C-alpha cells in the first residue's frame, strides 16, 4: 500500500496543482484516451481542480464501449447456437446489441459463461470436449497477447473444440483516425497506461512527430494524472511536442517485446469497426491463416441480422469527444447503470457511467 499511498499524497497533489496553475497561460484541450483515466479524473475531481485554461476531453479508450453493435450481434447469434458455449469477461454481458444482449441470451437458455481469463475458457474446453467453446476476444493490446497465448496452448495440447471470436482493437490507428478527422481539436494527449506497458511509449511517437501534439503516458492515481497534465502543459507552453512517460513504474519506451511477439505470431492487423467511428483500417486483430482453425466466425454458420443502433443514444459521439454524456437526453433518466441503453453506461470505464457516478450536477 505504501507505493499506492505515495501516488495519492495530498501534498504532492497540491504542489502539482499549484505548478499547473502557475505555468498555464494558454487555453488547451487535453484528451485522455483510456477509460481508466476518465474514471480516475472524474472520481478524484481533477477537472474541478484545474485552471480554466485547461479543458479535458474523454476519448474512445474503453474496449467494451467501442465494440460495434454489428460485432455484438455476431457474439449474441453465435451464443444462441445449441452446440456453442460462449465465454466472455463479465463487462460484456449487459451491453445491448441491436435486439438483445448476451445476458438476455443466457436468460433464454444460451450457454454463456463469465470467465476471468483465457485460461478459464481453455479449461472449460478441456472439461467439455463435446461442446464448442468460444472465447469472445474483446480488448486492446493489453489483453490480446493473453488470447494469443491461449491459442498457442490449445494448439500445443491438441484441444480441438476451442475457438476465438476476435474483436480486438489496436489503439494507435484509431488515434490517427481521430486526429485526421479534424472533428475535435486536441492540444495534448494523455496516452493509455496499460496499453503502453505492452506497446511502449514509442508507439505514440507519430503523434508528436507528424501532428506536433505532445503526448505523455500516464498512470491511474491522482498524482500520476496531475503530473501528466503538468508535463503536457509545460510542453505546450514551450511550444514543444515530445513523447514522455509519467508512468515509469510500468512503462518503457519499447514496451513488452515478448507480449508483442506472441500477439503478432497469432494475430495480424485487419480492418475493424469502432462504435461511432465506422471502419478504421488496420485497427483490428484477425487470426493469421496458420491459426484459421480457431476462427469462430468462419467455423460456424449463424445470422446476426441487421444492425440497429439504440434510439436516442449518443455513445458514438461521446466516444469521439464531440459530445459529453450530459448532452444526451437519455442520461440519468432513461439510461442508468441499472437500465443501460448504450455501452458507455454499462462499462465500469465508460464515460457515461463515470459521469453518472462521479459527475457534479453542473459538470
Average pLDDT value for residue range 63-69: 95
Least confident of 20-24, 59-63, 153-157: 59-63
Q: Which residues of 346-357 are buried (b: 16+ CB within 10 A; e: fewer)?
A: bbebbbbbbbbe
Non-local CB neighbours of 355 within 8 Å, separated by 6+ positions:
42, 324, 325, 326, 331, 363
**Short-list 94, 159, 68, CA closest to 122:** 159
Alpha carbon distance 17, 230 (integer Å): 8
Non-local CB neighbours of 357 within 8 Å, separated by 6+ positions:
42, 43, 337
Q: What is the pTM of this model?
A: 0.94
Cβ proximity of 115 and 91 under 8 Å? no
Residue 129: Cβ within 10 Å count: 10
pLDDT exceeds 60 at position 300: yes
How confident is residue 360, by pLDDT bands cut at 50, 70 and 90?
low
How far is Cα of residue 180 from the mean position of the Cα atoms in its chain?
20
Non-local CB neighbours of 67 within 8 Å, separated by 6+ positions:
92, 95, 138, 167, 275, 343
Cβ proximity of 187 and 321 under 8 Å? no
What residues does CATH 3.40.50.11740 cover in the chain? 29-309
Task: Give tens-digit pLDDT for 183-223.
Answer: 999 999 999 999 999 999 999 999 999 999 999 999 999 99
Task: Give tens-digit pLDDT for 317-348.
Answer: 999 999 999 999 999 999 999 999 999 999 98
Give the whole-number percent of the chain exceeding pLDDT 90: 94
The residue among 143 and 6 whose pLDDT is bigger is 143
pLDDT exceeds 80 at position 361: no
Predicted local distance difference test score (pLDDT) of residue 292: 97
pLDDT exceeds 90 at position 6: no
How confident is residue 3, by pLDDT bands cut at 50, 70 and 90?
low
Task: Give tens-digit pLDDT for 235-273.
Answer: 999 999 999 999 999 999 999 999 999 999 999 999 999
What phi, psi does 154 have (nearest 5°)? Answer: -60, -40
Alpha carbon distance 180, 173 (integer Å): 10
pLDDT exceeds 70 at position 362: no
Task: Give tens-digit pLDDT for 100-135.
Answer: 999 999 999 999 999 999 999 999 999 999 999 999
What integer best gives the mean pLDDT of the chain? 95
- Please give the span between the terminal C-alpha atoms of the chain, in angstroms, as a whole number: 32
Predicted local distance difference test score (pLDDT) of residue 7: 82
Predicted local distance difference test score (pLDDT) of residue 1: 43
pLDDT exceeds 90 at position 359: no
Alpha carbon distance 154, 126 (integer Å): 9
Tell me the pairing of strands 84-88 and 132-137: parallel
Q: Which residues of 30-60 are buried (b: 16+ CB within 10 A; e: fewer)?
A: bbbbbbbbbbbbbebebeebbeeebebbbbb
Residue 95 DSSP code: -
Query: Hey, which residues does 285 pair with through a beta bridge?
Result: 269
Strands, E assignment, 258-348: 267-274, 278-287
Return the CATH architecture of domain 29-309.
3-Layer(aba) Sandwich (3.40)
Amino acid at each position: 500500500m505504501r507505493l499506492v499511498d505515495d501516488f495519492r499524497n495530498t501534498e504532492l497533489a497540491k504542489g502539482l496543482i499549484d505548478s499547473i496553475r502557475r505555468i498555464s497561460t494558454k487555453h488547451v484541450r487535453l484528451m485522455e484516451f483510456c477509460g481508466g483515466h476518465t474514471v480516475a479524473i472524474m472520481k478524484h475531481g481533477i477537472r474541478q481542480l484545474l485552471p480554466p485554461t485547461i479543458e479535458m476531453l474523454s476519448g474512445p479508450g474503453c474496449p467494451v464501449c467501442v465494440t460495434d453493435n454489428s460485432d455484438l450481434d455476431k457474439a449474441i447469434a453465435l451464443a444462441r447456437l445449441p452446440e456453442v458455449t460462449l465465454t466472455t469477461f463479465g463487462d460484456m454481458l449487459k451491453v445491448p446489441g441491436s435486439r438483445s444482449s448476451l445476458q438476455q441470451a443466457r436468460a433464454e437458455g444460451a450457454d454463456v459463461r463469465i470467465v476471468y481469463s483465457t485460461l478459464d475458457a481453455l479449461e472449460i474446453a478441456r472439461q467439455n470436449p463435446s461442446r464448442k467453446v468460444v472465447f469472445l476476444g474483446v480488448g486492446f493490446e493489453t489483453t490480446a497477447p493473453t488470447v494469443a497465448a491461449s491459442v498457442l496452448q490449445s494448439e500445443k495440447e491438441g484441444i480441438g473444440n476451442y475457438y476465438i471470436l476476435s474483436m480486438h482493437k489496436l489503439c494507435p490507428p484509431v488515434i490517427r483516425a481521430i486526429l485526421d478527422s479534424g472533428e475535435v481539436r486536441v492540444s495534448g494527449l494523455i496516452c493509455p497506461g496499460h496499453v503502453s506497458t505492452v506497446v511502449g511509449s514509442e508507439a505514440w511517437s507519430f503523434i508528436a512527430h507528424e501532428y506536433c501534439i505532445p503526448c505523455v503516458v500516464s498512470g491511474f492515481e491522482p498524482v500520476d494524472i496531475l503530473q501528466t497534465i503538468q508535463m503536457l502543459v509545460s510542453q505546450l507552453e514551450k511550444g514543444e511536442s515530445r513523447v514522455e512517460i509519467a508512468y515509469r513504474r510500468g512503462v518503457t519506451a519499447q514496451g513488452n517485446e515478448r507480449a508483442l511477439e506472441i500477439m503478432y505470431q497469432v494475430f495480424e492487423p485487419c480492418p475493424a469497426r469502432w462504435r461511432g467511428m465506422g471502419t478504421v483500417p488496420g485497427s483490428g486483430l484477425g487470426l493469421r491463416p496458420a491459426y484459421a482453425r480457431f476462427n469462430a466466425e468462419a467455423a460456424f454458420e449463424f445470422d446476426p441480422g441487421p444492425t440497429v443502433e439504440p434510439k436516442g443514444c449518443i455513445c458514438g459521439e461521446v466516444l469521439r469527444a464531440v459530445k459529453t454524456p450530459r448532452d444526451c437526453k437519455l442520461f440519468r433518466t432513461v439510461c442508468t447503470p441499472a437500465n443501460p441503453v448504450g455501452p458507455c453506461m454499462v462499462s465500469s470505464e465508460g464515460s457515461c457511467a463515470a459521469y453518472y457516478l462521479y459527475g457534479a450536477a453542473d459538470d
